[in-house]
Amino acid sequence: MQISNPNRPRIHTENFSGRRRFLLGFIMSCMVVLVGRAIHLQVFKKDFLQERSRYVDTVSISSYRGNIEDRNGEALAISSPAPSVTINPKEIVKDDESVVTQMEKKFRADNHLEKLSENDKQAVLRLYRQEKQEKLAHLETMLGLSKGKIKDVLDEKKDKGFAYLAKKINPGLAEQVKELKLAGVDVLREFKRFYPSGEITAHLLGFTNAEDVGQVGLEKSYETVLKGADGKKRVIKDGLHQVIADVENISSPIPGKKLELSIDQRIQYLAFRELQNAVNVNKAKAGALVVLDAKTGEILAAVNQPSFNPNAKNDLKEILYRNRAFTEVFEPGSTVKPFVVAAALDGNYIRPGDLFVTDGVFAVGSNLVKDTHNYGTLNVEGVIKKSSNIGVAKMALKMPVDYFCGRYRNLGFGESPATGFPGEASGRMPSGKRMRDFDRAILSYGYGLNMSAIQLARSYTALADDGILHSVSLLKRDEDVDARRVFSEKTARKVRTMMESVITKEGTAYEARVEGYRVAGKTGTAKKAGAHGYSPNSYFALFAGLAPASNPRLVIVVMIDEPSAGQYYGGLVSAPVFSKVMAGSLRLLGVTPDQENTMPILLAKKN
């Protein structure tokens, strides 16, 4: 039996029931309003909303790759706008509701219908899909794709949200793609690398791939300098996923830095033209030519044959874009003989007036050193002028092994020239340990070691700049802080004067003469080594020289690989190329002539 508490307050149930009904009624009213609004928007305002569908997205902003310029500011590599066309496989296979709705609206208007039957809707859908396929087929034609290529891409990338259809296309073509207004097809802002000088600087600059990343040459070695950083921005896209407005920049793109080379485009062109002509005329396998500033070690030109067009590099083979001047080595032959003379003079192992008997054959142990002719007795200058193997071998044998090999190493033989060019060769310089006399003898006329054209040109700066060896650089600079003395000034000048005799009618390189200028140089004709020893019919034709000899400004090395048109001596094949390139380069640089007996003739020509 429950006993009620007379003190407990009484609940007015009628008041509670009224509030509950009010709250329930209010909630139900709100729900009705919301449902009604949803029906209104989804049914009666469907066309309005779909036509105006918008959303915010974040997209990247491509950065601008830095230009490469020559020492005078001439553009060698630039980036120009080249958009790419992409496709979203997930999006392209769906039916775009906004487009279908627009087509239904037009269908109703054209046929004066209030609403569409299910059959009419299916007809509109078929029409939409047909138009989409026609646009895709037209897109294939516009982009030069094979028939069915887009379908293959969609099948292959069906689970992906991104695939390229075409990379780096013409901006005008990109605008035509945009006008198709295909949902799932987009145009990306990108850049294409362009090389105005084409084949002339191809080996030096290299090229970039489709993603604008350097693959070979300076484009590769200076990738971190040239490549910028992409930016980001928020944009508004429409129902077709096309950008219709920018909202804000999240981060601005950072362009790559400019690369200023030591190359002089004028000299580069001149060297390319003359080397190409020489390779063709002599039916040679290949060739390389290097021009250095004798005072700074800057590389003013470096060309190769055969060459290639970096703007059209489809199916390009590695052998074509290999920069022989930097990456390939050869035995330098007689071009090293002036260094043997300089080393012997510097160490007081010989004197300029010493005489050397060169009667055609010289026995060194069980081996023989031979000359092409019997030159009789020669002084030191005569050994250089006639390029006597016997004479220079006798000089080398007067010097201790360590001293002799040390002088070669001081010239950079066997070490990388450190230009920063990818894959540059270090060459080979044998150790002096347990070196036989015959090994020393053949080293004196350029066999038993090898080097690149750049290394040989660098070594000649020691004779050109009065005994100071320069480092070499592909970047423009005012001075060489790494220069070092390897010969005395007196010795370098004396040897340079002796080398002028090579460019006389009695010497081996009369074809290397340059009107108005004194020239010093040395020929080289080296047999090529193969799998079974030296080939009897394959040669490197070489010439290394400098001018004006009184105060050298330029050093040039010419290498022609396997000339086969009849001539193969360096003095007949490479010396004429040196002459033309040196003559043109000195005039381009405005270097004053130093050959006194031609000064009146030159002045008369100017007047």
User: Catalytic site residues?
Assistant: 334
CA distance linking residue 74 with residue 422, whole number of Å? 23
Task: Say which residues have a Cβ less than 8 Å from residue 564's Cβ, sequence separation at least 6.
Answer: 282, 283, 284, 285
CA distance linking residue 93 with residue 353, whole number of Å? 91
Contact 553, 297 (CB under 8 A): no
**Helix/strand/coil (H, E, C) string of 213-274?**
CEEEHHHHHCHHHHCCECEEEEEEEECCCCEEEEEEEEECCECCCCEEECCCHHHHHHHHHH
Radius of gyration of the chain (CA): 39
Task: Say which residues have a Cβ less than 8 Å from residue 547's Cβ, sequence separation at least 6.
Answer: 514, 517, 518, 519, 520, 553, 554, 582, 586
Contact 264, 588 (CB under 8 A): yes
CA distance linking residue 552 with residue 411, whole number of Å? 18
Sequence length of the chain is 607
Count each helix (H run) and each strand (E run) in the chain, helices first.
Answer: 23, 23
Query: In the numeric block, which tokens belong to residue 313?
Result: 């590099």
CA distance linking residue 68 with residue 78, whole number of Å? 7
Q: Torsion angle of alpha carbons 277, 281, 282, 288, nearest 10°?
A: 10
CA distance linking residue 593 with residue 599, whole number of Å? 7
Task: Say which residues have a Cβ less than 8 Å from residue 70's Cβ, sequence separation at least 6.
Answer: 76, 260, 261, 263, 264, 265, 268
H or E segment and range at residue 69: strand 68-69
Query: In the numeric block, which tokens belong to residue 543?
Result: 């010439």
Residue 108 buriedness (CB in 10 A; 0-12 / 13-18 / 19+): middle
Identify the DSSP state of 158: T
Max Cα-Cα span within the chain: 151
| End-to-end CA separation in angstroms for the chain | 143
Report the alpha-carbon angle 88-55-57, nearest 5. Answer: 60
CA distance linking residue 218 with residue 203, whole number of Å? 9
